[in-house]
Homo-oligomer: A and B are copies of this chain.
Amino acid sequence: MQVIVTGGAGFLGARLIQTLLEEGQRIEGETITRVTSIDLAPCPLDDPRVESWVGDVADKALIERAMGDDTLAVCHLAAVVSSQAEADFELGMRVNLEATQALLDACRAHPRRLRFLFASSLAVFGPGLEQPVPEVVGPQPRSSYGAQKAIGELLVNDYSRRGFIDGRVCRLPTIVARPGKPNQAASSFASSIIREPLAGQRAVCPVDPDLPLWLSSPRAMVGNLRHALQLDGDALGEWRTLNLPGITVTVTQLLDALERQAGAETRALVDFEPDAAIDKIVASWPGGLDIERPLSLGFQADADVDTVIHAYREDYLNT
């Protein structure tokens, strides 16, 4: 039985696919034997159980062809990231909203009530909120990316409530540290200021060093996404939106941890160059969310900031 992962060529998508194909992974008692990636780029995994469809996730015909009778679930991770969706409104609306609608409608047309995992974001929140943000506090996004994700959340919940899908919405914290190169997410710097110095390169921090971030290691996040997909829907109750666990860490605390593990000269590779456009988006996101309910449902946060940096070094630098 297969799972479809949109954005399967991305680093998070590819890690989720690997995790789903670990021995014995099941959904509703059925074993996951293959995964189909839909992405503009080919999925980098070299595994015969992974089928890579290269194309536009908003292409309805492509989605229909990919959605076989043996589909158990769709994990919808593909997105135009925050700064890019702010720079190109039409592109963000098409990929972040229309593609989500197209996927939901394809799932609705499927004979099985499919599990649908939607990757949302802490970018749905606005500024000035009580911290940690209580679960009832609603989206007041200050970016088109956040608005599009918040709309996706509402759609997944309504399709789920009506029984068209069995939905799960996960609001992802900022990932630290993402491997590879900087991307157009406004939060991209949060990875850069760890990843680049550890590679002996300079990095720029565009926000205030005291800014609290709500962050998660890729390791914890992928574990949580898998848990969200495998959890029984009844445990989630009627409202399917979850604040995925993270930890609250300021930029300074993040760099302190970098210094503890890699020395003062590594930390010194980070320059502070304020960027108003990035700061406006990132500073509108909360630095902490109430995660009592997700923790009680078995989701897990990283132990601390040192664990986050250690996980990056272990997973991507083999140190």
What residues make up the interface of A, taking CB atoms closer than 8 Å to B? 89, 126, 129-130, 136-142, 144, 147, 150-151, 154-155, 157-158, 161-162, 238-239, 241
Contact = CB atoms under 8 A, between A and B. Distances in A.
Nearest to A241: B140
Q: Among A141, A144, A147, which residue has the most Cβ atoms of chain B within 10 A?
A: A147
A47 B141 CA distance: 42
Shortest Cβ-Cβ A-B pairs, 8 listed: A138-B138, A147-B158, A147-B154, A151-B151, A136-B137, A140-B239, A150-B154, A151-B154
Given A126-B239, A136-B129, A141 B162 contact: no
A142 B241 CA distance: 13
A139 to B, nearest CB: 6
A150 B158 CA distance: 11
Q: Among A137, A138, A151, which residue has the most Cβ atoms of chain B within 10 A?
A: A138
17 contacts: A126-B238, A126-B239, A129-B136, A130-B136, A136-B137, A136-B138, A136-B140, A137-B137, A137-B138, A140-B157, A141-B157, A141-B158, A142-B238, A147-B155, A147-B157, A151-B154, A151-B155
